[in-house]
Chain A
Amino acid sequence: MNSWIDADLVLITLTSLVLLGASRLGTTIRMVALQGVLLSPLPLLLAGDAGITLRAAGLAVATVLIKGIGFPWLMDRAVRGGSLRRELDPRLGYNASLLAGVLLLAVAFLLSSRLPLPPGEGTPLVLPAALFNILAGMFVIASRRQAITQVLGYLVLENGIYVFGVGIASHQPLLVELGILLDVFAAVFVMGIVIFHMGRELDHIDTGRMTLLNDWEKE
């Protein structure tokens, strides 16, 4: 069973790396969708010897529906409706981003080697994969200009937290998991709407050009 979990975690990590190096908005969205689908078997696989419970199955289905289909559709709609530029135009080049991703992966392994886990929880790869996704999500938020990529970065970050939650704290009740899913859903929904309208009103969603929105008056 463990090998399947590890394979899945490796695939999730790879999608994040692809996302870091992708130059097209469409690729990025598809990678996030793929990641959502890849996340869904985790609760089933990690249920392990206890057998597949209704809770795990419900969570897997909800994950596919929301993360694999719902979010990508929302993002896609925002991109089409707002007639956005399809290139990402990052602050940091694609190759440099990939390199940074590898560095983040190293940091994730370094951190997880120091973080003691309760025995019998998950596999050794759960923690690095979770931390890497969190860091990669933050990196995407910080290094891309367009607001939509920041939402995608947020989703990657959240996926990392999801891996951590499912992998480590497998005892937490279904209600909490579903609650978090619902929270994220609401957040992404709102962000999708905001981006859609920003794209219409401003002709751009470049966050670098929104610095005037702070409270402090420049003198």
Chain B
Amino acid sequence: MTLLLVALGLLVAGGAAALLCRQSPRAANLLGAGSAAAACALGLVPAVTGLVGGGARLESAWSVPGGSLALAIDPLSAFFLVPLFGLCGLAAVYGAGYLSAAPGGRSPGPPWFHFSWLVAGMVVVVTARNAVLFLVAWEVMSLASYFLVTRDDEREDVREAGWTYLVATHFGNACLIALFALLGPRSLDFADFGPASHAGLLFVLALIGFGTKAGFMPLHVWLPEAHPAAPSHVSAVMSGVMIKMGIYGLLRTLTWLGPPPLWWGGLLIAAGAASGVVAVMFALAQRDLKRVLAYSSVENTSIIALGLGVGLVGLHAGTPGVAVLGLAGALLHVWTHALGKGLLFLGAGAVLHATGTRDLDRLGGLARRMPLTSATFLVGAAAIAGLPPLSGFFSEFLILYGAVQHAGLHSLAAMVALALMSGLAAAVFVRAFGGAFLGVARDDGVRVAHDPGAAMRAPMAILAPALLALGLSTPVLLPALAPVVEQIGGLPARRELDAATAPLAVVVLGSTIFLALVALIAGLRRSLLAGRTVGAAATWDCGYAHPAPRMQYTASSFAQPLTALFGPVLRTRLTWDAPRGLFPAAAAFATRTPDVVREAALRPLFDLVSGALHAMHRLQHGRLHLYVISIALTLVVLLLWRLS
């Protein structure tokens, strides 16, 4: 516990030091990144010991009404703390490289300050054992990330993204305040929360409040805006860890609400299925690489929701096999997504850093120019797309394995949705990877790209093997999840988890053989080609006289059959200027796929509200004496009314 406090102190102090270091951007960068990385390394120690069974508590009084400074590490907290510290530490190292090369010579002090507070806020969110402390930390986390998202605030779209994020996050916070107010009329300490009479209402409030942060549709609108706007290491932290805070909150709430009725699981499965399938469709249609990843994040939290839903259905039905496997799959996916999406955002940041664009239809051929980035991106993409032997496969497999054991409409819906999502997710990442890294560069800036500096390379080079190791060791690690699952589900989990390791081990064995074969063939090819000259030539060019790189099959072309199929949902907008005449000159073609929830539901709603509130502006006329008269009149009327 002491180490955790030291880490928190180090974060706050380092952030403040970076902020104060205005003279030297270099020093600010080093201070901010160094303290954050050191704090995360320190914090990993109590997190890992917490996971293997060494819990810790700390409690002290706080002058805030209803509040107490209660922190604790139990298996559930530790499970979220490990990826939090791990990814944030690596992101800090990456950020040192990313921010030092920031254009315009802006001081990296403020972003490091906010980054430190973001990490500290998340640590306290996960360890807080008092509702007031939790809400304060939650707000710190939200605000710090807001400032990070709006770092490039001279750009209109960034300001718009920040505004969307701020509104969405506070909508969620309002639900959370209501949730805790209803949970604790007597005491706001987590230890005193117990099964409540109106548990259904509380569950819905938690689902909306935490779901906004986790990005369940239709509450996801901030995600595709905020992730691309933030600096890449922050996108990695936001997507990898921060949205998982929503999952953590939901899990923590479930431990208080008592045995779940069937409709909770049903609601989670329905929400997860709908939001996952729609999100993955949108991921297919996006041209912005980071936006693809953001939609993929929505899809992955939906997979977690599906796993939780299966788990709750199993709990209700009293079948521990279903419950344990669903929950374990959801938990494993938390780690998978934290590492995998973190890695992908770091890779996307490296691409953006090197080429200056995130447009998939302008990138291309980066595999040769940026070998490390492309290799690590491939590992991350395979993990997120759920290919064996990476852990994404295992988490989805566990959820499906659990769902299969339960006969019913709920589990059937979960299976169908998960299958559809996995298939489409594979297409999404084939498209993203192919568009960015394969083929030939489509733009001049892309042609001269190169791998980033050591500070940015190292985190990617660490995350990719870690992801592979997590996948290969899943059969061994799985039983270690038992305490966490037991804490959420309130039932013994060890036996079911042990039983599930057997099929996983077969998959690992099979994939290892496959990987060995691939390595063998690659080695063979290499030895055969050694000593011969290898020429590179254009592929068959369909008889065109002068094929240009822009004529390549683009990412948009790849996705077109699918996007056309989902056209009614996606509503992709085409703007084009067709070539005319026998000797056409300029022509243009562009597609844009705005978010359907944002465009069709939220924008009209907000327009309505702002129109209705327009009348209120008449009150702000600027005439001072009328203000004073209205204050005085209110005072007199109130006095007359209360004193009658």
Contact = CB atoms under 8 A, between A and B. Distances in A.
Interface string B608-629: 0000000001001111111011
Contacts of B632: 135, 138-139, 142
Interface stretch (A32-40, A54-62, A166-174, A209-217): A209-217
Given A111-B643, A114-B643, A215 B629 contact: no
A114 B644 contact: yes
Range for the number of chain A residues in contact with chain B: 20 to 34
Contact of B623 (A107, A114, A139, A211): A211
Nearest to B626: A142
Contacts of B623: 208, 211
Contact of A212 (B622, B624, B625, B643): B622
A211 B640 CA distance: 32
A114 B632 CA distance: 18
B636 A111 contact: yes
B620 A135 contact: no
A210 B617 contact: no
Contacts of B631: 138
Main secondary structure of the interface of B (DSSP, over half): helix
Contacts of A144: 625
Contacts of B639: 111, 115
A141 interface: yes
B629 A142 contact: yes
Contacts of A211: 621-623
Given A107-B636, A111-B640, A114-B644, A214 B621 contact: yes
B50 to A, nearest CB: 49
Contacts of A115: 639, 643
B625 A213 contact: no
A143 interface: yes
A214 B625 contact: no
A95 interface: no
Contact of A142 (B622, B628, B640, B644): B628
* Most interface-central of A138, A139, A143, A212 (chain B CB within 10 A): A138
Interface string B252-279: 0000000000000000000000000000
Nearest to A135: B632
Interface string A197-217: 000000000011011111110
B95 to A, nearest CB: 36
Interface string A131-150: 00001001101111000001
A208 B621 CA distance: 11
A91 interface: yes
A214 B628 contact: no
B643 A210 contact: no
Contact of B628 (A114, A138, A210, A216): A138
Contact of A216 (B617, B626, B643, B644): B617
Given A135-B636, A216-B617, A141 B643 contact: no
Interface in B5-24: none
Given A143-B625, A207-B625, A216 B620 contact: yes
In this complex, which of A110, A135, A143, A216 has the most chain B Cβ atoms within 10 angstroms of its Cβ? Answer: A216
A214 B640 CA distance: 32
A215 B620 contact: yes
A141 B636 CA distance: 16
A143 B623 CA distance: 11
B641 to A, nearest CB: 10
Interface in A141-179: 141-144, 150
B528 to A, nearest CB: 72
Given A111-B639, A114-B644, A142 B625 contact: yes
Interface string B28-53: 00000000000000000000000000
A202 B310 CA distance: 71
B437 to A, nearest CB: 48
Interface string A110-138: 11001100000000000000000001001
Given A115-B643, A142-B628, A214 B620 contact: yes
A142 B617 CA distance: 21
Contacts of B626: 142
Contacts of B629: 138, 142
Contacts of B624: 141, 150, 207, 210
A210 B629 CA distance: 17
Given A111-B643, A135-B636, A213 B622 contact: yes
Question: Which of A135, A141, A212 has the most C-beta atoms of chain B within 10 angstroms of its own C-beta?
Answer: A141
A91 B622 CA distance: 16
A152 B622 CA distance: 20
18 contacts: A91-B625, A111-B640, A115-B639, A135-B636, A138-B629, A138-B631, A139-B632, A143-B625, A144-B625, A207-B624, A208-B623, A208-B625, A211-B621, A211-B622, A211-B623, A213-B622, A214-B621, A215-B620
Interface of B: 617, 620-626, 628-629, 631-632, 636, 639-640, 643-644
Given A142-B625, A143-B625, A207-B624, 6 more contacts: A107-B636, A114-B644, A141-B624, A142-B628, A208-B623, A214-B620
Interface of A: 91, 107, 110-111, 114-115, 135, 138-139, 141-144, 150, 207-208, 210-216
* Those 7 A-B pairs whose CB atoms lie nearest each other, nearest first: A211-B622, A114-B643, A214-B622, A138-B632, A142-B625, A142-B628, A142-B629
